[in-house]
Amino acid sequence: MPPPAPEDPAHWIERALRDYPQRLFLRTPHGSSLSYADLAQASAHYAAALGALGVGAGERVLARSARSPELIILYVACLRLGALFVPVNPQGTAAELEHVLRDAQPALAVLAPGEHAALAPLAAACGARTATLGAGNEGTLPGSARAPGPRTVTARAHAPGELAAIVYTSGTTGRPKGAMLTRGNLASNAAVLARAWRFTGEDLLLHVLPLYHVHGLFVALNTTLAAGSGLLFCERFAAPAALAQLAQASVFMGVPTHYTRLLAEPALDVRACQGMRLFVSGSAPLTAATHEAFQARTGHSILERYGMTETLMNTANPYDGPRVPGSVGCALPGIRLRLADRGADGVGVIEVQGSNVCAGYWGAAGGRAADFGPGGWFRTGDLARIDAHGYVTLVGRTRDLIISGGLNVYPKEVELELDALDGISESAVFGVAHPDFGEGVTAVVVSAPGAKLSEPQILAALRTRLSDYKLPKRVLAIDELPRNAMGKVRKEALRERYAQLYARGGDDERAL
């Protein structure tokens, strides 16, 4: 049976540790494992170690470390202690780390062992003590957790409105902002997803996602904890290894890139997925072509969902019912959506209201900012259509909207037509300054192996599918689309790269 809704969302972690002590919580492909009782004990030890380092309730713990079971234990320890977990990308630059250190002002920065010597002075200059998740004793949290001392977490009342984590946005429109997520945000969204996706104690989720992002941390991990399910935890994603592990798992959560790479494996078929009950995709748009190809190969219809750092998960295609390719589904239970500034074409900006919406932005970003409107509605900046059945189809971001010759062009619409052409593997469409049209619709494409499409051929094909004002002024070849760690195309990088394309005529660019 699906787990019941928590009667007190502030204490959901304690219930998970108390109610399922003998269940498997985590197993690695190498054979090591943790039960829920083991997680309760280890997180209590980590909480005691944090306390010995001066971390108390309400203080921030920055975590910059490779994904590992120890990082998960640290996260659970922070929840139990009442400290705020601040995950950051372990591959980020020192300058990016400094921004978060100065904004979040953590009491403790947990660093990877190999970079502690280089980054500890920076953390100290920002007022943070440091530790690592290394295997040694001195200066490591595991070592401190093994030291003599108290081994229990003092139970105390936690209100749903108390902060649990600060997660920094990707910073594509400026400096990253720290979204303040409450205990109620995490608990309510986890309970909703566990029910909607039919999680039970029998499930084993193949976990390959980063732990500094809401997808891997709050969708995959929290949903598992809410249901008392288990994790098959891999250090990283590699398509051959993931395919081999599917035989042991029942659920897989990934980004679209994971699915395209799995599709490149000849061994992906119905038999390889016979023990699976659910594949979930998010963090970036899943193309209809990938959805359909995966279903044809495996018999499974990928469940696509939509969320963001500030709101966790907002929508999902149904567990029972049609999973529409190209759509991110309908609003999840208890979450309301509406379209603001809707145009004649039905496209508007998604606004969200519900217990999933964060408490605002931390530090320099200040309070609830302009994105948070009256009545608790959060303006996402995502452009979408919503059909008569409530299915949401994303068409882009407000910052990605192209206004060419005074007319609106939605990049997603052009990308769908490009991706449907034989010989094109993937594409990205964006606007850059144009001396005549204000913004020129510009496309970059990655060609399929052996393809020989030319720019004139592509434009000729598009003319039968798109109005003239939507046609790209240029279609350029590119070896690989720039992406962030979660697979989202970094269009700001493309706009910057091609900013002078039309000013200089574009003759020096690589045409098809």
In whole angstroms, give the CA distance from residue 317 to residue 336: 15
* Confidence grade of residue 147 (pLDDT, cut at 50, 70, 90): low
Q: Do 269 and 141 belong to one domain?
A: yes
Would you say 49 and 124 are in contact if contact means Cβ atoms under 8 Å apart? Answer: no
Instruction: From 219, 280, 282, 186, select the one nearest 486 (Cα to Cα).
Output: 282
Beta strands in 283-355 (DSSP E): 303-308, 312-316, 330-331, 336-340, 348-353
What tokens appear for 38 in the block? 């083991």
Q: What is the pLDDT of residue 101?
A: 97
Residue 366 inside a domain? The answer is: yes
- In Å, how far from its chain's centre is CA 441? 28
CATH number at residue 203: 3.40.50.12780
From 351, 384, 417, the end of a domain falls on 384
DSSP classification of residue 127: T
With 80 as the cut, is the pLDDT of residue 97 above it?
Answer: yes
Q: Do 335 and 469 belong to one domain?
A: no
Q: Do 335 and 429 belong to one domain?
A: no
What does DSSP say about strands 438-447 and 424-434: parallel, antiparallel, or unpaired?
Answer: antiparallel
Q: Do 68 and 195 belong to one domain?
A: yes
Q: Do 419 and 375 belong to one domain?
A: no
Q: Using CB atoms within 10 Å of the CB of residue 273, give its burial: 0 to 12 exposed, 13 to 18 middle, 19+ buried.
A: buried
CATH number at residue 418: 3.30.300.30
Q: Do 352 and 456 belong to one domain?
A: no
Would you say 367 and 279 are in contact if contact means Cβ atoms under 8 Å apart? Answer: no
* Percentage of residues in the chain having pLDDT higher than 90: 68
Q: Do 335 and 225 belong to one domain?
A: yes
Q: Do 346 and 432 belong to one domain?
A: no
State which amino acid sits at residue 238: A
Q: Do 288 and 220 belong to one domain?
A: yes
Q: Do 376 and 413 belong to one domain?
A: no
Beta strands in 117-266 (DSSP E): 129-132, 163-168, 178-182, 204-207, 230-233, 251-254
What tokens appear for 168 in the block? 């920094």
Q: Do 420 and 290 belong to one domain?
A: no
Identify the residue with better confidence: 146 or 452: 452
Q: Which domain does 432 fall in, by range?
A: 401-497
Residue 200 inside a domain? The answer is: yes
Q: What is the pLDDT of residue 395?
A: 87
Residue 317 inside a domain? The answer is: yes
Residues in Cβ contact with 320 at an 8 Å cutoff, skipping those fewer than 6 apart? none
* Confidence grade of residue 352 (pLDDT, cut at 50, 70, 90): very high
pLDDT per position as a tens digit, 28-39: 998 899 999 999
State which amino acid sits at residue 431: G
- Whole-number Cα distances in Å, 487 to 39, 115, 205, 324, 448: 31, 25, 20, 21, 19
What does DSSP say about strands 474-477 and 108-111: parallel, antiparallel, or unpaired?
Answer: unpaired
Identify the residue with better confidence: 369 or 255: 255
From 384, 414, 440, the end of a domain falls on 384
Q: What is the domain count for the chain? A: 2
Q: Do 357 and 232 belong to one domain?
A: yes
pLDDT per position as a tens digit, 167-208: 998 654 457 899 999 999 999 999 999 999 999 999 999 999
Instruction: From 420, 426, 419, 509, select the one nearest 473 (Cα to Cα).
Output: 509
In whole angstroms, give the CA distance from residue 105 to residue 465: 52
Poorest-pLDDT segment among 76-85, 261-270, 503-512: 503-512
- pLDDT (average), residues 36-44: 95
Q: What is the DSSP string of 24-46?
A: EEEE-TTS-EEEHHHHHHHHHHH
| pTM of the model as a whole | 0.84
Beta strands in 213-327 (DSSP E): 230-233, 251-254, 278-281, 303-308, 312-316
Provide Rg for the chain, Cα atoms. Answer: 23
Residue 181 inside a domain? The answer is: yes
Residue 512 inside a domain? The answer is: no
